Chain A
Amino acid sequence: MTEPSRIRNFCIVAHIDHGKSTLADRLLELTHTVADRDMRDQYLDKMDLERERGITIKAQAVRLAYGEFELNLIDTPGHVDFTYEVSRSLAACEGAVLLVDAAQGIEAQTLANFHLARDAGLAIVPVLNKIDLPQAAVDETRRELAELVGVPPDEVLAVSGKTGEGVTELLERIVAQVPPPTGDRNAPLRALIFDSSFDPYRGVVAYIRVVDGALGARSRAHFMATGLDSETEEPGVFAPEPSPVSALEAGEVGYLVTGLKDVHQVKVGDTITSAGKGRATEPLPGYREPLPMVWSGLFPAEGGDYSELREALDRLKLNDAALVYEPETSRALGFGFRCGFLGLLHMDIVKERLEREFGLELIATAPNVEFHVIRGEEAVVVHNPSEMPQPGTYDHVEEPVVRATIITPSEYLGPVLELCQARRGELLDMQYLSPERAEVHYKLPLAEIIFDFFDQLKSKTRGYASLDYEPTGYEHADLVRVDVLLHGEHVDAFSSVVHREKAAQYGRQMVERLRELIPRQLFDVAIQASIGSRIVARETVKAKRKDVLAKCYGGDITRKRKLLEQQKKGKDRMRRVGRVDVPQEAFIAALRVDQKAEARR
């Protein structure tokens, strides 16, 4: 047990690639938390997937012994999809190291998370990283950072995670500037869950910060949001490998083997107290349910793999409390699931894991947001475009909007503003961080953001702009459903909900694209886009006239039979829409967002 006065709980707030993991490696080394012989790069990013993408998805809490002090480094996810998770990690800390790459400057994500940290009342330790790089603009970035945090420039520490320069001083600063935890060790137990994971042998492990009271081994715990009780098995700390402790007390950070088997019973933001008489009455503030923001239909490329997809999703869900899904039947794609994700990155990760870890071949429909269809007093939630009712049957539609923060070099401000305007954006405010860099806030429909906005932003700013956003609710929008018909048959998988002004153009581009992708059949195939009963675009795939083997003599028959069998297999792999055979590849290509966006430009 460590006296609260000797505990410091902190996190590192940084943009992707600003060197958070490398700095963490130096902290592990300098505090001898990891023996030299065991050290490896990016030590804390354990999952393969994280390593490859250069981001951290799972928060971890590492205990560092620094002199007489116990420092708990709480890792935060670094992506806009996980804002809520970030806020819970911050709530477990008293201080934040605000880490900025001296060559890159402040990015939108840093800014967003800085504001989250400041709003959470955390002490901010501003740090410049990568000062060893030749292109590091130390003075300029130091001024920017000092301005942001509101300290004199000489209080901004300069370090190199790579060489270790300045890192000892950073440890001193953390001890000096981050306040020790407060909290009443004699009060009823209250522990914040800031993350959880599923271990096949031990069940659900919660990452917790004890705020009040103490949590011993083998005690009965009560989860306040879910209302569940459980016999907990083992409290412990990461040093950095998990090691059990007899108890976690107010101010301490660690893990808890919860004794529960389902990750959905252990929710990020929930409060653990003791079951029985000494329980707390008030949960810790800030809890909310994970909210899917982006939806997509996932279908097995081979119809028979439906049950495999179900099993794979069930298994992923064990470790991913934010993933939601429900069975969906598409006339075009057969049986699959409509899945809800926290954002595009979350969606990509889930898709990639399904394909890589479970060997599934998937067709994913274009991602969409959740719409509220308002009929009088009633609001119907729609998260599948093909379920959007026809115009005239409702009063209006509401869509989610976000407050977007974009940081861009000033020279690209024009194109950035154009992009936001073209995406139905509303300028909120704008300021210069320095003469060279501007910070812009826009209100934007989330639907526009998930439609390749980030790629566009990057390409218009040569990769220099950064983006962050937070949902701010639902607003009225003039949206219509665009349908695609093949030979008169509505293809549900191609339906999309689009702003009325862009609907006809979108329909035309979709139809042109499909004309290229749909092979010729034995009859003319009409491809149409419609809004309600109005056809807004039409193309025709002319009937195939020739498909025959010219020569077929004695030496040809075996080969020709095999060719026919091949052709038959190819046909069997196609999806049938009414009378039209559509290859899998056509679905995949037509539903790919970047290509739709290609057509839209």
Chain B
Amino acid sequence: MNAGVYVHVPFCLTRCGYCDFNAYAGLDHLASRYVSALLREAGLAAPGWSSEEIASVFLGGGTPTTLEVADLKALLVRLRHDYAFARDAEITIEANPDTVDLLKLEGLLEAGFVRLSMGAQSFDPLVLASLERLHDPASVRRAMREARAAGYANVNLDLIYGASGERIESWERTLLETVDLAPEHVSAYALTIEPSTPLGRKVQHGVVPPPDPDLQADMFELACEVLGDAGYQHYEISNWAKPGFACVHNLGYWERRPYLGLGAGAHSYRDDRRWWNVRPPEEYLSLVEAGTLPVGGEERLEPSDAYLEEVFLRLRILEGVPTSWVEPEKAAPFVESGLLLDHDGSLIPTERGMLVLNELVLALTG
């Protein structure tokens, strides 16, 4: 079966206020030890994955491009050595515009990272400031030009909408600028307030207003319209791609294919078992350096858990769930009100339906 490998790099230049990922600023001095540990963990984990063909690798973070090209290259070499890669494996690396230049991009492509995912977030300087992003819109345009110059033919831009103070006009400009740059793939996320983040605390204390869900819904609909008009296919709630450029690696999560996570806090999944590495980088390092798999926890999915995951993940993508899974009277009101499409034996959420997916999942599985 096809599997994906996710590699987590927990280093960032600064921490953004909205981000609740396992990422740290000021730990750069651990970088070379961390790369060694990743190589070692890849070797430790490999015996369990000998029967899988690796269809994709995704280097995420954090900011993977804070690592040296040579280290990143060594990592890929090690993975190719320990695991059976598909011939056309999709290998993605995330980058912040400010951490790459032409030279680095050429190096990454040469090393085998054929897909580049860039955190653009917005083309409005006010929105970038409110998200505490260091870069400015110009550096996104520059990074994009350099990626093309380096030879990248599969680029994703990440966008965030609905930050405090952002108006629909600003979001429309961001969408149009994005379309202008013509990336092969666009991810557009409604800003989610995570309670454990600095932004979450500001919202809690009333310093920053929480996102307006109706405005975010308007923004979502605008994204559907602008990106659709520009020839992007809306294949997952927050993801659009030119034909043939849907992200293989991420589809793996939604289609419930197995994945192996390497690095601090990374999650793995196979055969209805999910497990995750310890989160703090130092703890991760000491476990791996002692020659043990750095597993911090695990869960076994009961059939009911697996079913719930199957339904809510499948509904995220255009595939939808087979009509036969759901009692007709449960689905009927949603088909009638235009939140679900009953198409060719599958129940597929419409764009309005995607927006209230939690409700749909609860209603269909309740």
Residues of A whose CB lies within 8 Å of any CB of B are 522-523, 544-555, 557-558, 560-561, 564-565, 567-568, 571
In the complex with contacts A557-B274, A557-B309, A558-B274, A546-B355 CB distance below 8 A: yes
Stretch touching chain A among B120-128, B149-157, B163-171, B260-268:
B260-268
Contact with A along B18-60 (1 / 0, CB 8 A): 0000000000000000000000000000000000000000000
Q: How far apart are A559's CB and chain B's nearest CB, in angstroms?
A: 10
In the complex, A550 Cα to B4 Cα: how many Å?
A: 21
Q: Is A549 a contact of B358 with CB atoms below 8 Å?
A: yes
Closest to B304 in A: A565
**25 sample A-B contacts, Cβ–Cβ < 8 Å, listed by A number:** A545-B217, A546-B216, A546-B217, A547-B356, A548-B356, A549-B192, A550-B190, A551-B189, A553-B250, A553-B253, A554-B253, A554-B259, A554-B261, A554-B266, A554-B267, A555-B266, A557-B267, A557-B269, A558-B274, A558-B276, A560-B312, A564-B361, A568-B362, A568-B366, A571-B366
Closest to A544 in B: B356
Q: Is A545 a contact of B237 with CB atoms below 8 Å?
A: no
Chain A CB within 10 A, most for which of B6, B253, B266, B299? B253
Q: Is B356 a contact of A557 with CB atoms below 8 Å?
A: no
Within 8 Å by CB of A550, from B217, B237, B276, B365, lies B237
In the complex with contacts A554-B259, A554-B261, A545-B214 CB distance below 8 A: yes
Residues of A contacting B191 with CB < 8 Å? 550
In the complex, A546 Cα to B190 Cα: how many Å?
A: 10
Residues of A contacting B253 with CB < 8 Å? 552-554, 557
Residues of B contacting A567 with CB < 8 Å? 358, 362
B313 interfacial by beta-carbon distance below 8 Å:
yes
Q: How far apart are A118's CB and chain B's nearest CB, in angstroms?
A: 61
Beyond A545-B213, A552-B254, A557-B274, list 6 extra A-B contacts (CB 8 Å): A546-B213, A555-B266, A557-B313, A558-B267, A561-B308, A564-B358
B354 interfacial by beta-carbon distance below 8 Å:
yes
In the complex with contacts A550-B237, A554-B6, A545-B358 CB distance below 8 A: no
In the complex with contacts A546-B220, A555-B276, A564-B238 CB distance below 8 A: no
In the complex, A546 Cα to B215 Cα: how many Å?
A: 9
Q: Is A554 a contact of B269 with CB atoms below 8 Å?
A: yes
B316 interfacial by beta-carbon distance below 8 Å:
yes
Q: Is B265 a contact of A555 with CB atoms below 8 Å?
A: yes
Closest to B212 in A: A546
In the complex, A568 Cα to B364 Cα: how many Å?
A: 11
Closest to A560 in B: B312
In the complex with contacts A549-B192, A550-B189, A568-B366, A522-B356 CB distance below 8 A: yes
Chain A CB within 10 A, most for which of B216, B250, B274, B356? B356
B282 interfacial by beta-carbon distance below 8 Å:
no
B357 interfacial by beta-carbon distance below 8 Å:
yes
Q: How far apart are A543's CB and chain B's nearest CB, in angstroms?
A: 9
In the complex, A597 Cα to B265 Cα: how many Å?
A: 53
Total number of B residues with any Cβ neighbor in A under 8 Å: 45
Within 8 Å by CB of B337, from A523, A547, A550, lies A523
Segment 189-238 of B: residues with Cβ below 8 Å from A = 189-192, 213-214, 216-217, 220, 237-238
Q: Is B189 a contact of A546 with CB atoms below 8 Å?
A: no
Q: How far apart are B340's CB and chain A's nearest CB, in angstroms?
A: 11
Closest to B216 in A: A546
Closest to A551 in B: B189
Which 4 A/B pairs are nearest by Cβ-Cβ distance? A545-B217, A546-B213, A548-B357, A555-B267
B255 interfacial by beta-carbon distance below 8 Å:
no
Within 8 Å by CB of A548, from B265, B268, B355, lies B355
Contact with A along B82-94 (1 / 0, CB 8 A): 0000000000000
Within 8 Å by CB of A561, from B254, B259, B312, B355, lies B312
B339 interfacial by beta-carbon distance below 8 Å:
yes
Within 8 Å by CB of B309, from A545, A551, A553, A561, lies A561
In the complex, A268 Cα to B350 Cα: how many Å?
A: 70
Residues of A contacting B299 with CB < 8 Å? 558
Q: How far apart are B321's CB and chain A's nearest CB, in angstroms?
A: 15
In the complex, A546 Cα to B362 Cα: how many Å?
A: 14
In the complex, A555 Cα to B274 Cα: how many Å?
A: 10
Q: How far apart are B362's CB and chain A's nearest CB, in angstroms?
A: 5
B305 interfacial by beta-carbon distance below 8 Å:
yes
Residues of A contacting B238 with CB < 8 Å? 550-551
Residues of A contacting B269 with CB < 8 Å? 554, 557
Residues of B contacting A568 with CB < 8 Å? 362, 365-366
Residues of B contacting A561 with CB < 8 Å? 305, 308-309, 312
In the complex with contacts A522-B339, A561-B312, A564-B308, A546-B214 CB distance below 8 A: yes
B359 interfacial by beta-carbon distance below 8 Å:
yes
In the complex, A560 Cα to B254 Cα: how many Å?
A: 13
In the complex, A214 Cα to B305 Cα: how many Å?
A: 76
Chain B CB within 10 A, most for which of A523, A548, A549, A565? A548
Q: How far apart are B126's CB and chain A's nearest CB, in angstroms?
A: 21
Q: How far apart are B36's CB and chain A's nearest CB, in angstroms?
A: 23
In the complex, A547 Cα to B192 Cα: how many Å?
A: 11
Residues of B contacting A547 with CB < 8 Å? 213, 355-359
Q: How far apart are A518's CB and chain B's nearest CB, in angstroms?
A: 15
Residues of B contacting A553 with CB < 8 Å? 250, 253
Q: How far apart are A553's CB and chain B's nearest CB, in angstroms?
A: 6
In the complex, A446 Cα to B366 Cα: how many Å?
A: 46
In the complex, A568 Cα to B305 Cα: how many Å?
A: 13
Segment 76-124 of B: residues with Cβ below 8 Å from A = none
Closest to B297 in A: A558
Q: How far apart are A562's CB and chain B's nearest CB, in angstroms?
A: 10
Chain B CB within 10 A, most for which of A555, A560, A571? A555
In the complex, A438 Cα to B266 Cα: how many Å?
A: 77
In the complex, A558 Cα to B300 Cα: how many Å?
A: 11
Q: How far apart are A103's CB and chain B's nearest CB, in angstroms?
A: 45
Q: Is A548 a contact of B267 with CB atoms below 8 Å?
A: no
Residues of B contacting A558 with CB < 8 Å? 267, 274, 276, 299
Residues of B contacting A552 with CB < 8 Å? 237, 253-254, 312-313, 316
